[in-house]
Amino acid sequence: MNYLLGLIVLFIKIAVMLGGLLLAASYLVWLERKLLARLQIRLGPNRAGIFGLLQPIADAIKLLTKEDIVPSAADGFIFRLAPAVVAVTALLMFAVVPLGPDIRMFGRAVPMVITDLNVGLLFVFALSSLGVYGVALGGWASNSKFALLGGIRGAAQMISYELALGLSLVPVVMLAGSFSLTTIVDAQAGIPFIVLQPVSFAIFLISAMAESKRIPFDLPEAENELGAGFHTEYSGMRFGLFFLGEYVHIQVLGALTAVFFLGGWHGPLLPPVVWLMLKIFIVAVIMIWIRGTLPRLRYDQLMALGWKVLIPASLINIVVTGAFIQFGTI
């Protein structure tokens, strides 16, 4: 009986999370288009519904009803698999993000997280690395030069930034003493880690942006060099899945930034979930602002930034943090 009840609660949590994520992803597209337009003194979508609020729905209908084309020279199975890999890995990362403290329901404690893995952080890293397989394989399976170049760039970018991303979070783990995202959030009940680890925060944000393939790190897409990069040959809802993956990834990034540095769901007055959503929203807006401001980095600049700046900086940061912990200042 207990087992069944737990299963039902789990399914409800998954359904709510999935629904919320997909809805938020579609309206994040709307927000991005609208905000980007205003940054470029344009109006943005304003035809479908008031302020263009029905635009995501119109886009979804368009993507779903478009012809699904698989190029005859493509590797059919991998071509079909790749978008799903990107979307699924992005969605799965949210399984370990805590939305709030445990709530009591019918005399039982229900944790506000789908699953509190004790290696949550490693789980997140594993999935974010897996997501790049979708990009690289999708680019390769398309059997198109542009897509292949995009895929290769995606893979190379992943190697350069994965390391910095991982190393930037080592101080956080050292401070919290756990890989579990719930424990990391609990450790920030007093002061958020952004205050203690500003360097770590900057490195994390830059590497995570490179990981999510957004301007200024959108080299795998690079529409003015590579057509559309790795998803050049995709159409219809398969393209839509790549698109969905990208916008879910922005939310993941916002959530992870919130969890690791901004104190997760901690915050005064408002309910915990609202605080987390607010923090995700702020990170998303900042990323849109960055997209509206910075140009794309050149390939060698991207590599140089990753290997020569971010990785040494995060290593030094680890040593300094370790020294502080060892000698008992923190």
Partner 1 sequence: MSENKLKTDEKPLKPDESSGFSALKALAEGFATTAKHLARKPITESYPEVKRQLPERSRARIVLTHDPDGRERCVACYLCSAVCPVSCISMQSAEQPNGRRYARWFRINFGRCIYCGLCEEACPTSAIQLTPDFENIQRDILTLVFEKKDLLVEGCGKDPSYNYYEHAGVTTDQRGKGEHASETPPVNVKSNLP
Give the shortest CB-206-to-partner 1 separation in angstroms: 12
What is the rounded distance in angstroms from the CA atom of residue 63 to the CA atom of residue 236? 5
By CB under 8 A, residue 41 contacts partner 1: yes
Give the shortest CB-163-to-partner 1 separation in angstroms: 22
Give the shortest CB-117-to-partner 1 separation in angstroms: 37
Q: Of 53 and 60, which CB lies nearer to partner 1 in the complex structure?
A: 53
**Closest by alpha carbon to 179, among 253, 123, 131?**
123
Q: Of 39 and 130, which CB lies nearer to partner 1 in the complex structure?
A: 39
**Closest by alpha carbon to 30, among 47, 61, 60, 53?**
53
Q: Of 9 and 35, which CB lies nearer to partner 1 in the complex structure?
A: 35
What is the rounded distance in angstroms from the CA atom of residue 44 to the CA atom of residue 53? 11
By CB under 8 A, residue 293 contacts partner 1: yes
Q: How many residues bind partner 1 (CB under 8 A)?
A: 13
Instruction: Please state, in angstroms and as integers, the Cα–Cα distance from residue 90 to each residue in 69, 105, 124, 241, following that order.
Output: 24, 30, 9, 11
Give the shortest CB-287-to-partner 1 separation in angstroms: 13
What is the rounded distance in angstroms from the CA atom of residue 141 to the CA atom of residue 5? 43
Secondary structure class of 75 (helix, strand, coil): coil
Q: Of 122 and 199, which CB lies nearer to partner 1 in the complex structure?
A: 199
Give the shortest CB-263-to-partner 1 separation in angstroms: 24
By CB under 8 A, residue 50 contacts partner 1: no
Q: Please identify which residue in the block is written with the tokens 């991303």.
A: 165
By CB under 8 A, residue 62 contacts partner 1: no
- The conformation of residue 50, written as its DSSP 8-state character, comes to G
Binding span for partner 1 by CB under 8 A among 79-87, 112-120, 157-165, 285-293: 285-293
What is the rounded distance in angstroms from the CA atom of residue 154 to the CA atom of residue 148? 10
What angle do helix axes 120-141 and 145-176 make, rounded to 10 degrees? 180
Q: Which of 294, 316, 319, 320 binds partner 1 (CB under 8 A)?
A: 294
By CB under 8 A, residue 43 contacts partner 1: yes
Q: Which of 38, 62, 145, 308 binds partner 1 (CB under 8 A)?
A: 38
Site map for partner 1, 102-141, x if CB under 8 A?
----------------------------------------
Give the shortest CB-2-to-partner 1 separation in angstroms: 53
Q: Of 43 and 191, which CB lies nearer to partner 1 in the complex structure?
A: 43
Binding span for partner 1 by CB under 8 A among 32-40, 53-61, 92-100, 166-174: 32-40
Residue 111 near residue 102, CB atoms below 8 Å? yes
Residue 158 near residue 306, CB atoms below 8 Å? no
In 228-271, alpha helices (H): 236-260
By CB under 8 A, residue 46 contacts partner 1: yes
Binding span for partner 1 by CB under 8 A among 109-117, 227-235, 259-267, 290-298: 290-298
Q: Is the peptide bond before 192 cis (omega within 30 degrees of 0)?
A: no
Q: Which of 14, 17, 22, 39 binds partner 1 (CB under 8 A)?
A: 39
Q: Helix count (H) and strand count (E) of the chain?
A: 13, 2
- The conformation of residue 230, written as its DSSP 8-state character, comes to G
**Closest by alpha carbon to 230, among 301, 287, 151, 295?**
151
Residue 238 near residue 152, CB atoms below 8 Å? no
Give the shortest CB-51-to-partner 1 separation in angstroms: 13
Give the shortest CB-292-to-partner 1 separation in angstroms: 5
What is the rounded distance in angstroms from the CA atom of residue 325 to the CA atom of residue 327? 6
Binding site for partner 1 (CB under 8 A): 35, 37-43, 46, 289, 292-294
